[in-house]
Chains A and B, each alone.
Chain A
Amino acid sequence: MMLLAQLESLATWLYNPWLFVAGAIAVALPILIHLLNKRKFKVVEWAAMDFLLDADKKNRRRVRLENLLLLLLRCLAVLLIGLLLARPFLPTSVTAGLIDAAQFERIVVLDDSLSMQARLGNESAWEVARKRLTDLTNSLAQDQAYNSLTLFLTSRPEQPLFNATHLGADSIDEVNAAIERLEAGDATANLDATLKELEDYLADQPANVNRVVYVLTDLRRRDWKESDPNPEAPLKVLARLSKLTQGCFLIDVADDESRNLAITEIQPEGTLVQGVASRFDVAVTNHGTTAASDVRVKLSAGGGLPLESTVERIAPGETASVRFNFTFTGEDETEGQSERALAPRQVKVELQTAQQGADDRLPADSVAYFPARMVRGIPTLIIDGDPSAEFGRAESFYLRRALAPTGPVPSGVAADVVTENELESLALDKYQVIFLCNVYRLGDKTAENIEKLERWVERGGGLVLLPGDQIDEQFFADFYFRDGAGLSPLKLENIRGDESEQTWAGLRIENTNHVVLKVFTGQSNPFLDNVKAFRWWGATVKKEQLGKEVSVAARLSDVEESPVMAEKAFGKGRVLALGIPADADWTNWTSDPSYLIVMQELVRYLSADRGDQGLLRVGEPLRQPLDLTVYELDASLVGPKERKANLQATAPEEAAGRAADGADARQTVWHLDYPATDAQGFYDVKLSRRDGGGDDHVLFAANVDPTEGDLKRVDRAALEKELVGSNVQILEATAQSLADIGSQTEIWWYLLWGLVGVLCGEQLLGWFFGWGR
């Protein structure tokens, strides 16, 4: 009974305790052999006995010691053999649960986020992880027990790559081939979702199978967020998971090297106009802990020669901004094509470091793509409330010329002029800026048109209100101001000023940092001083809104200090309301050069946030509205890495939900959706025109998440502290092959080496004692 109890305690760290006991007993063997050997000897009658006795006297102690040593080594060898056969393992709670199980499910969560592409010497973290995984599958396939593999990828948690696939000689090649085909994506690790998915998965599974979870990850702080109190934080979920399974292993496949340079942003100044110089701001972040020097930033647009700029030094954690000026030249086109959209250009920014990548462990985020959607000019709509065919009489006469002056240099603005009645039939979506010049009612369907306009602004349009003498303040307040809820930031009260033009008011800039007016600030700038307003709309802003969504950029110098330029954020768009009209009736501004500049800047300013259209994050679904009146239902897509897809437009879900006025318009505008933007690069959507006029291209670009480039790792100590009490172990993948973890923490391999060492030592010593001297 005592013996059995002893054996049971042995079984907590031995697979075959009986064999160990046998080994312990067998230790007696060498001793026995030694003793038997002593009894077996040759007898020689020897003459030269004196010499022999002499030699024996000198050596007796040494020989005894040597014999004892050899005997000990032999006993040790036998003991080791016994131990080896008994297959000891380190008694972890994981293995303890596994001992008597016959069926195992190995659940592997493989982090295939961008940061896994970080290089570790000659390999990437991803390659290390994949190799470890293959090691695991190989060793499991040879295992006698029934093993199955479930593989989750963090990039698509909802679809496990393998679902309890049996691992055996018949399936191993297939499984390994599938693993070999996997590549680390450009997306971010969707750890929370993956672990949640895993938790749900485990909840549904029968409990009679032993499960071990391996999470192969690079343990970036970005993903693992140590000391996050949120109960759904990855570590918390993992700790919960470990309770549902026999054990969790967090296998660290990366190292602590975090030097990395990343392009975190690429932003054009505004709408990209063909033939007009465009500015690109490129932000380069040094995520490392040491300064990076001589970072070359290269911008290449289309097939043109690349621009290059060198940043001498980026301090650790700092972001450097590089500015490129680039003019997209247009191809020679025939007049007939001018109605067609311009082909988009591919802009690519790359980083090169002087130290050949030593500063940059993750090359994938050192490149950024930008879809330069070109226009001939910023599409601008001028709605003229007082049209006239007479020269200089039309309300929009000056504005139109200011925006698109005749001459060889393109202004970068393409202005269409319509009357308010033409508005109804117009699709506003193609315009980025709309000027309302002294427009009284917006056509017959006033309410519908106002709502249409509001929705257009909400989606990001830029509206400029230029009220003149046709405006009725009551109507304006009812439809445009609506007590602060409408489009206009200003409540027009009455027309003020001196009709005889004897007195006037000047312009005073309130917000000197306003982009439009910035050029006029400063002592030596005389431009705006010459502007005289003889009449103007006395206006007020709603006090509660001031400083929030409404700001006043300029006021007049009259007694009331009427706001003459006020801005309001409306949805994604902006509305700028002026207190003066665009023509020359009330002011002399139109004859001043500053008029042209302000109007041009206004267009640019209001269209500024439209420059980054088509810019996506990797994993963000691609969506392109498709006007079925113009384009065919089917479109094709060419993505990075030669990826091709055919897309079919679908009707928008909320088609019936909204107000009636835009309903018929939107019924013809469907959407092309492409969710699988999981690789960085350009996505070129080709739309076929219904009129047979060929294809139009819409360019998208997916860039990697800039935070993914931050290779900083979770603090191991904090991590371990947080996992105390849970059944999660953190292991280094580089030191040990996963197969060893797979067969748990068995130490037979070390024992084998120990045994070989002992046997070699025994032989060597035996030889040395016998012949070496």
Chain B
Amino acid sequence: MSHTYLDSKTLDRIKRLDVRARLVVEGFINGQHRSPYHGFAVEFATHREYAPGDDTRHIDWKVWSKTDRLYIKEYEEETNLKCTILLDCSKSMRYDETWSKFDYAATGAASLAYLLQQQQDAVGLVTFNTKVQKNLPASSHPNHLKLMLHELQETTADDKTDVAQVFPELARQTRRRGLIVLFSDLFLDIATLAESLKQFRLRRHEVIVFHVMHDDELTFPFQDNTLFKGLESPVQLHAEPRALRRSYLEAVEKFLGQVRTTCASAGVDYVLMNTKEPLDAVLGSYLTFRHKVRRSARHA
């Protein structure tokens, strides 16, 4: 594991978790094949008394023969997941030379890909800025991960972010419903973002947005006289950061709020990632959260 974006510590932490589609529709999975993840047997969950309307195929006849009662066997759902990771490689992702947002996002993407690979689900990678830069279609082939990691290393962030063309195009390409994971700082027009996310949702893709923000961008800790040079745009501003801090943070807060509402209204999972926080913690907590949500959804 010599790859830059595959951090063993991060992986250790999240190894125990699994990535699943939240919405599992029958027929979406090609047959009930055995679960690769949960051992060799079909994962049995629990027994439940039969109620009229239940599928008779699930009745546990062995129990019936012993107890003369009808019980339904319940299983953990299983699925064949096809996941596409969209990674924003616009210039704005380059912020902070030591550990940039792009580095952070790439590590996230790699970790996630590794996890899915372990789960033997298919993972694809798309890097984009104003247009799609590289498109690795989803595959569960073990070599695919290596390819992806190589691709991540080769990519340098450049140009602006523009999803207006990228997302609909991608939505069209990915026919089969699956999981779309977006790593981006979302420095783009909110309306465009809303529209683009809608494209995925219309095709019943499940979307997770990992909003990667640098800690500096969230707290604006600058003090001294500073010349701010735009990464994506050629503007520059000589300012006293202390005087602007309050207004800046207001603007950021407003932006985050808008993004949140946009995601929520599009039915998209939204996770704000601060580059200061350890990646495993963010990913881990999110995945655990998903797991719980799913369980409670099923039991309801």
Contact = CB atoms under 8 A, between A and B. Distances in A.
Contacts of A499: none
B239 interface: yes
Interface stretch (A40-48, A588-596, A620-628, A709-717): A40-48
Contacts of B235: 49, 53
A95 to B, nearest CB: 47
Contact of B232 (A38, A49, A59): A49
A769 B244 contact: no
B230 interface: yes
Interface in B138-188: 185, 187
Interface string A40-79: 1111111111111111101100110011000000000000
Given A55-B244, A66-B243, A47 B227 contact: no
A56 B251 CA distance: 11
Given A45-B231, A47-B217, A49-B231, A37 B187 contact: no
Given A38-B225, A42-B227, A47 B243 contact: no
A70 to B, nearest CB: 11
Contact of B225 (A42, A46, A51, A62): A42
A770 interface: yes
Interface string B216-251: 010000101111111111010111101111111011
A658 interface: no
B233 A51 contact: no
Interface centre among B226, B229, B230, B243 (most CB of A within 10 A): B243
Contact of B246 (A50, A52, A54, A773): A773
Given A47-B214, A49-B235, A52-B237, A770 B244 contact: no
A51 B248 contact: yes
Given A44-B222, A51-B251, A52-B248, A63 B240 contact: yes
Chain A at the B interface: SS class: helix
A753 interface: no
B255 interface: yes
A201 interface: no
Interface string A735-773: 000000000000000000000000000000000011101
B252 interface: yes
Contacts of B226: 41-44
B92 interface: yes
B95 interface: yes
Interface residues of B, number: 37
B227 A44 contact: yes
Interface in A315-337: none
A46 B228 contact: yes
B43 to A, nearest CB: 45
Given A37-B225, A42-B224, A55-B248, A48 B187 contact: yes
B227 A43 contact: yes
B238 A46 contact: no
Contacts of A43: 226-227, 229
Contact of A63 (B233, B243, B250, B252): B243
Nearest to B248: A55
A37 B228 CA distance: 16
Contacts of A54: 247-248, 251
A45 B251 CA distance: 19
Given A41-B224, A44-B227, A46-B229, A51 B243 contact: no
A56 B237 contact: yes
Given A55-B247, A56-B244, 14 more contacts: A37-B225, A38-B225, A42-B227, A44-B229, A45-B94, A46-B231, A47-B94, A49-B237, A53-B237, A55-B246, A56-B237, A63-B243, A769-B242, A773-B246
16 contacts: A41-B224, A41-B226, A42-B226, A45-B229, A45-B230, A47-B232, A49-B231, A49-B232, A51-B252, A52-B239, A52-B244, A54-B251, A55-B246, A63-B244, A66-B243, A67-B240
Interface of B: 91-95, 101, 185, 187, 214, 217, 222, 224-233, 235, 237-240, 242-248, 250-252, 255
Interface of A: 37-38, 40-56, 58-59, 62-63, 66-67, 769-771, 773
